[in-house]
Amino acid sequence: MIGGVSGYGSGALMPLVLVPIVGPEPVVPILSIAALFNNTSRAAAFFRMVDWRRAAVVLPYALPATVAGAWIYSRLSGRGAAVVIGAMLIASVPLRRNWAKRGLKLSDRSLAGVSLGWGFLAGGTSGAGVMLLSMLMGVGLQGSAVIATDAIISIGMGSVKASTFALAGALGAREVTIAVLMGAVAIPGAFLARSIAKRLPLHVHTAILDAVVMIGGGAMVAVAFVQ
């Protein structure tokens, strides 16, 4: 529901729940599969608002870089994975605010170039989705169009990430089971989100998410260094 209303949040918040349960290593692989369910339901709920042209600009550049990022992540130790996830969560908040403050406007060519770097980050982290929102808003998309287009792009990214993690041996039966259960439970949330998207004050919700993400990311980095 959070992801459907705000366009981000689920990928940033779920590591805070999963890490204490399964450890840091399988978090990104699990979320890459669960996100396929979440983003597919979100795309279905907001399908009429998808900007297919912008999705076609992002994916060809982001997908190859995603493979590289996912492969590197699969080689990290538990401590390294925790630091990467935590640092990305912490960085996502000032990055989003800085982009919004500067009122960045991207051309389709600039969007393609930025997508290359974003794809690498997205391949190895679970909190990079917030950057995609900023990129889409930077080319002029607003409201539900951002959420819908983000979902379509994320389906392609998630498919490539899941395949890369599987080939790298980072996905076992336990990880797949957890991911499928999470994804299935999340499906109704997208349709509930559609019904409340126009009623919930997003600035309040965003402020709460920012605080949780920053605190959680800091805690993950701190735990990694004291283990």
Over residues 193-204, mean pLDDT: 69
The per-residue pLDDT for range 71-119, each reduced to its tens digit, is 887 777 667 766 776 777 677 677 767 777 776 667 888 888 889 888 8
In this structure, are residues 212 and 89 in contact, taking their beta carbons and an 8 Å threshold?
no
Over residues 27-49, mean pLDDT: 84
> Is pTM, for the whole model, over 0.85?
no
pLDDT at residue 53, rounded to an integer: 93
pLDDT at residue 7, rounded to an integer: 57
Burial class (CB in 10 A: 0-12, 13-18, 19+), 79: middle
The per-residue pLDDT for range 160-197, each reduced to its tens digit, is 888 888 888 877 888 889 888 888 887 787 778 777 76
